[in-house]
Chain A
């Protein structure tokens, strides 16, 4: 299996400030044949299922605010929220879909400072 490791485990950011969450995979999730990274980011609020925000490491899902962006390639990825809003309080997960056995990071809890 590919192990996904996120950092930090928790993060407190002031409203309007930038939040950055990192994700590292134990092996590359880049398909060199099409230069696509098989990496998605999800947001999960209490009592709700995860919701996809970003796929292909940097493509925003329809309807996701443009303050959310994804970057990185190979084994190292970042989710950035450019200006934190109150409704962004949640747990964020990365997930690889490079191999059939899907795996998720342990999650990063984002709170307001």
Chain B
């Protein structure tokens, strides 16, 4: 059974960097079938996919256009976790942030729906 455990601060000041971590159990961040995502949810934007990281002989990262210039997702194989760093935050980045795994097929090359989710972290951007 896959479990995702999120950690990180709930309050970030405007213009600073939002950092969250998602620890994985029951799977590996570097498996050839795992795909690791960050998604956020706010009243104004609904559920918004932010980006993913996955390993298929090398590391791949894909980001939503809306946050592409500000977002970095990094795997940490030593701790079996992955992280989100969102730079230059504004109050519009206030949301519940989720990590999630995507189900895959075709030896991990076809990406499907989100089958496991973290518990969510409410992050407020305010001075």
Total residues of chain A contacting the partner, CB 8 A: 22
Total residues of chain B contacting the partner, CB 8 A: 20
> Could you count the A-B residue pairs with CB atoms below 8 Å apart for me: how many are there?
48
Q: Does the CB pair B46–A52 fall under 8 Å?
A: no
Q: Is the interface of B mostly helix, strand, loop or mixed?
A: strand
Q: Is the interface of A mostly helix, strand, loop or mixed?
A: loop
Given known contacts A102-B49, A103-B49, A104-B46, A49 and B113 CB-to-CB distance under 8 angstroms: no
Most chain A CB atoms below 10 A, which of B47, B103, B118? B47
Can you name the residue of chain B whose Cβ is closest to the Cβ of A103? B49
Given known contacts A55-B113, A100-B62, A101-B65, A49 and B47 CB-to-CB distance under 8 angstroms: no
Q: A residues touching B (Cβ–Cβ < 8 Å)?
A: 1, 38, 40, 42, 48-52, 55, 61, 93, 95, 97, 100-107
Q: List 28 A-B contacts (CB under 8 A).
A: A38-B112, A40-B112, A40-B113, A40-B114, A42-B114, A48-B120, A49-B98, A49-B100, A49-B117, A49-B119, A50-B47, A51-B117, A52-B113, A52-B115, A55-B112, A55-B113, A95-B47, A97-B102, A97-B111, A100-B62, A100-B111, A101-B49, A102-B114, A104-B49, A105-B46, A106-B46, A107-B46, A107-B47
